[in-house]
Structure 1
Amino acid sequence: MNTLFTGIFKKYSLKQLQKDFIAGIVVGVIAIPLAMSFAIASGVKPEYGIYTACIAGILISLFGGSKFQIGGPTGAFVPILLGVVLTYGYQNLLIAGILAGIILCLLGIFKLGSLIKFIPRPVTVGFTSGIAVIIFTGQIANFLGLTDIEKHETFIANMKEIVIHIGTINMYSVITAVICLAILIIMPRVMPRIPAPLVGIIVSSLIAGWLFSGRIPTIGSTFGVIPSTLPKFQIPSVSWDTLQLLIGPAFAIAMLGAIESLLSAVVADGLTNTKHNSNRELIGQGIANIITPLFGGIPATGAIARTAANVKSGATSKVSGVIHGIFVLLTLLLLAPLASRIPLASMAPILMIVAWNMSERAHFKHILKMKSGDSLILVVTFLLTVLTSLTIAVEVGLGLALLLFTKKMSESVTVKKSLPNPLREKREKITQLWNESSSTPTISVYTVEGPLFFGAAQDFHETVASYIKQKPKFLILRMGNVPFIDTTGEAYFRSIIHEFKAQGGKLLIAGLPPHVKETLVHNGLYYTIGGEHFFEHVNEAITYSVERLKQGKFDHVQSLRLS
């Protein structure tokens, strides 16, 4: 346990505490309206978002692998959590959160944090932009003050609800939302150090309470009064059937949480010139998501915007994240009744701005303009995120990326004839023999470049097989630029060996990298070929062949380049 806290208080000074205290308060102020907004957008009561911000925020800071990470509810989770709530209910969301926490801990324990980097950029940009569209459009009803709106899991169904009830627009809600939106747009330009979301909520709520009291829906009138008490500890009732039902949503929550938290940690690294511990970060996220649902909180992850604000506010250690959580908790205990009076129309612009900022518009346009396979991956992932679900979008996006990558790798394998550098002592002899015509070469030399994997192995086999039909006595494969051989490549390679041996030829390997040779030893191909038939350089293999043929009695030298 001590290793989790290594470095928190090492050489920690009073001056650092002062900086962390200020940063924690600033981020806490930012987190409160966001926590309530994300909870409401996720289909649960606003206090559950506050519980998440304070409990998960403290735990992620204490146990995570980044000094500056701020954890809590985030916009990226909104579509998944709303879908779980609508399909399975709030209690099952808590169970899914716990399962996700366990998965995150296992990812960290087995040191799988580095695997997140293998998710292609078009996939992350695609689903992030799709989530942004879902969040933005999900707040249209609150912005316009529409009534009798029923929330659905699918984008199209929600859009139909808005169209059907568009006649119920509440102009008081629109005015309130526009006031908050104006503040959110203007404040960062005029007074960037003051949290615009908090000012927007306070000012628009005061105006609405003064001019439109009782005429627009508020948090209290919609969800009930926010309790000014500590969250209660409760262990959800779990059955085996429930676990089987929720493992899919839990895995989706865990994967998205892992991606967003590690991206947030990378952002913090870039702003502070530090290095986070990916696996410890996943363990910290896992612990937070296991414990937070026991107090009614929803799944949490690292929040990129709040983490950046933490750094820019002068944070020096994990202490700022702990102070942020404590501040949110104290605010809940002291000011909860006031928060109940906030109009829903004041919350809508905040989430719309969050969606706009997280949409990655510049990256989306850049990838789209490339008109490449990445553009296709981006569009497919984006559309599936919006029209189906994040889980399906990521699965299809990753699958499509793998297929396109495999296609590119297989297309990189080409066949070209090339003459190897002749042996110094036989330069003239080999040159003369190269120019001789012969229908049946005695020695064939091939240069193989590129990985022998499932996408290229068949082409490799067909190409080499077509040349060994000329029945050379020695087949020399120059394999210095073969980075790896997978199981499929091994199968086709073994087929070539057997075919060539069946016609009485001998296979020689030149320049094989040590790690690839180890693969051949492991799968038995090394012994099938024969250890004496492996050489450091192609010239050594040619010398071996010439000597075996009795020098000067071979007919022709031919080479092939496969790249």
Structure 2
Amino acid sequence: MISISDYRRQWFGNIRGDVLAGIVVALALIPEAIAFSIIAGVDPKVGLYASFSIAVLIAFTGGRPGMISAATAATAVLMITLVKDHGLEYLLAATVLAGLLQIGAGLLKLGRFMRYVSKSVMTGFVNALAILIFMAQLPELNLSNPGVTWLTYVLVAVGLAIIYLFPRITTTIPSPLVTIIVLTLAVLAMGWDVRTVGDMGALPDTLPFFLIPDVPLTIETLLIIFPYSVAVAVVGLLESLMTQNIVDDLTDTKSSRDQECIGQGIANTATGFIGGMAGCAMIGQSIINVKSGGRGRLSAFTAGVVLLILVVGLGDLVARIPMPALVAIMIMVSIGTFSWSSIKALRVHPRSSSIVMIATVVTVVYTHNLAIGVLVGVLLSGIFFAGKIAQLFRITSTLSDDGRHRTYVLEGQLFYGSAEDFADAFDFREALDRVTIDVSRAHIWDISSVQALDMAILKFRREGSAVEVVGMNDATETLIDKLAIHDKPGAMDKLMGH
């Protein structure tokens, strides 16, 4: 549990940097929130209200200071069918339920399962997200789209030049903020015809207000929204926790995963009651925040509040911000997000690690679903790990001087991956009076290995040999006592029946 002094420092330890970074993030959130609303098939204000609400609430309740959460594409794509078939009110109800599920996950401390996501999967996740962020900018660079001309490319290039060169002059003001101001003033002064934020959709002109989703409180409603809520809750937490790991690395600090789960849940639950869609942490905006100097909770709070002020109070001005400025910022984010060292590392890293990383990238980019890509990566990591551990298992044997007693010594981990090698190591037709299986240097893990041990013992007994298993540690002995059947009546018949 965080102390009051630490919590206060997370709010007020970096006021200037957090406020400036929050302003930059707020400007970058606007076109994305609108775009994500369009993806889900709802009005732009649904995404904008959600981004305001989630960013502000997560500032108070989240476990990772300096991380930005808002409406995201990862959760928006999961809601498309629900909105199409049942409408906005069911989306709001599903958002509330998803938040409650996330709170439950936090209370059950499920965030600890992130430790099973390997570094290769994390790298693949980051690289895939960088590619998706860049691909999302391509429509704004397509000359066949209305409002996109050669001037767009010039402005994007100028924006990138400002982003990378301005810090050489001073780092007092974040270069992405300078980019937005300079390009907006230039476009307004010159009267250039380029796409603006206003071209992406109408901005809301009123503050959000409390409402209860207008859906029947019935089992039928629950059955409709539950699958979507589970998907949103899982994907939202997965992306949030992985982004949390990345921000931890960027800032060289540690944060609470379980608190982040609870915070995401509170933010989503409350957002559903003000007409907003579900969201989660955003790696792109979080990196913008960190690189712009944001480190504390105030940065996320500022981003949410400034976002609402901009779209409601200064909507006409915000609508004039040229899209090339925001495209330049997002290209900077994609370049900064991609792990370029991972390309060089392909030559030196183990082949299995490289395959996991590449498979994660390809799956995410192909499906546009971060959860599926991470799942593929985790499964491959598990398969490769099991294969490596199985290779470390071996059995040696010695025969007594009289040739009547053989001792088999097991070394390593006996589990489903090594059970076949275990079974192949015995010569059941050898004429022996006694057989000793020494497991003092091994550990038995699962029912597959217990069944393999049962089969070996029973086959030796069938050939007339007395079998003794020695050297079991406490965990192995407990598992054997619970699952083994070689000493039970009709053991061979039961074993062959399986």
TM-score past 0.5 threshold: yes
Distance in 1, matches of 2:78 and 2:140, equals: 19
Partner of 2:68: 71
Q: Does structure 1 residue 180 correspond to structure 2 residue 178?
A: no
Amino acid at match of 1:221: D
Partner of 1:35: 29
Give, in angstroms, the shift of residue 93 of structure 1.
Answer: 5.7
Alignment of 1:115-514 (within 5 A): 115-144=113-142, 146-147=144-145, 169-213=148-192, 215-224=193-202, 226-237=203-214, 250-266=229-245, 269=248, 275-303=254-282, 318=297, 321-322=300-301, 324-367=303-346, 369-370=348-349, 372-390=351-369, 391-417=371-397, 436=401, 441-464=403-426, 466=427, 468-514=428-474
SS in 1 for 2:444: coil
Amino acid at match of 1:384: T
Aligned CA distance change for structure 1 residues 238 and 383 (closer, same or farther; 3 Å):
farther
Q: Deviations over 1:231-255 (max 9, x none)?
A: 2334445587786676666555434
Give, in angstroms, the shift of residue 494 of structure 1.
Answer: 1.4
Alignment of 1:76-87 (within 5 A): 77-78=72-73, 81-82=76-77, 84-85=79-80
Partner of 2:20: 26
Distance in 1, matches of 2:11 and 2:59, equals: 15
Distance in 2, matches of 1:88 and 1:128, equals: 29
SS in 2 for 1:295: coil
Give, in angstroms, the shift of residue 329 of structure 1.
Answer: 3.6
Aligned CA distance change for structure 1 residues 65 and 456 (closer, same or farther; 3 Å):
same
Q: Does structure 1 residue 522 correspond to structure 2 residue 482?
A: yes
Give, in angstroms, the shift of residue 327 of structure 1.
Answer: 4.3
The alignment of Structure 1 onto Structure 2 pairs a total of residues equal to: 479
Give, in angstroms, the shift of residue 146 of structure 1.
Answer: 3.8
Give, in angstroms, the shift of residue 118 of structure 1.
Answer: 0.6
Distance in 1, matches of 2:200 and 2:373, equals: 33
Give, in angstroms, the shift of residue 373 of structure 1.
Answer: 1.7
Give, in angstroms, the shift of residue 35 of structure 1.
Answer: 1.1
Q: Which moved more, 1:99-108 or 1:447-456?
A: 99-108
The structure that has the greater radius of gyration is 1
Q: Is the 8 A contact 2:248 2:254 kept in 1?
A: yes
Distance in 1, matches of 2:48 and 2:23, equals: 12
SS in 2 for 1:475: strand
Distance in 1, matches of 2:82 and 2:24, equals: 31
Unaligned runs of 5+ in 1: 149-167, 420-433, 530-563
Q: Deviations over 1:278-324 (max 9, x none)?
A: 22221111221222243343433335576678778888964664455
Give, in angstroms, the shift of residue 111 of structure 1.
Answer: 1.7
Give, in angstroms, the shift of residue 486 of structure 1.
Answer: 0.3
Amino acid at match of 1:216: V
RMSD: 3.6
Aligned CA distance change for structure 1 residues 114 and 519 (closer, same or farther; 3 Å):
same
Q: State the identity as a percent.
A: 25
Pick the aligned partner of 2:3 from 1, 4, 7: 7
SS in 1 for 2:468: strand
Give, in angstroms, the shift of residue 123 of structure 1.
Answer: 2.5
SS in 2 for 1:507: strand
Aligned CA distance change for structure 1 residues 381 and 323 (closer, same or farther; 3 Å):
closer
Give, in angstroms, the shift of residue 418 of structure 1.
Answer: 5.7
Q: Is the 8 A contact 1:53 1:72 kept in 2?
A: yes
Distance in 2, matches of 1:248 and 1:188, equals: 47
Q: Is the 8 A contact 1:310 1:320 kept in 2?
A: yes
SS in 2 for 1:479: strand
Pick the aligned partner of 2:56 from 55, 58, 70: 58
Q: Is the 8 A contact 1:229 1:332 kept in 2?
A: no
Q: Deviations over 1:67-121 (max 9, x none)?
A: x2433237xx436635754895583665554454333223222221111121223
Q: Deviations over 1:403-426 (max 9, x none)?
A: 33333333333343468xxxxxxx
Q: Is the 8 A contact 1:369 1:375 kept in 2?
A: no
Q: Is the 8 A contact 1:143 1:349 kept in 2?
A: no
Q: Which moved more, 1:233-242 or 1:345-354?
A: 233-242
Distance in 1, matches of 2:322 and 2:81, equals: 23
Distance in 2, matches of 1:270 and 1:174, equals: 34
Partner of 2:494: none
SS in 1 for 2:414: coil
Q: Is the 8 A contact 1:201 1:346 kept in 2?
A: yes
Q: Deviations over 1:43-78 (max 9, x none)?
A: 536655543443212322322234x2433237xx43
Amino acid at match of 1:29: I
SS in 1 for 2:425: helix
Distance in 1, matches of 2:245 and 2:324, equals: 34
SS in 1 for 2:406: strand
Aligned CA distance change for structure 1 residues 527 and 335 (closer, same or farther; 3 Å):
farther
Distance in 2, matches of 1:473 and 1:346, equals: 84
Distance in 2, matches of 1:311 and 1:348, equals: 19
Q: Is the 8 A contact 2:12 2:296 kept in 1?
A: no
Q: Deviations over 1:485-537 (max 9, x none)?
A: 201111111112222233333322332221221212222559669xxxxxxxx
Q: Is the 8 A contact 2:37 2:44 kept in 1?
A: no
SS in 1 for 2:358: helix
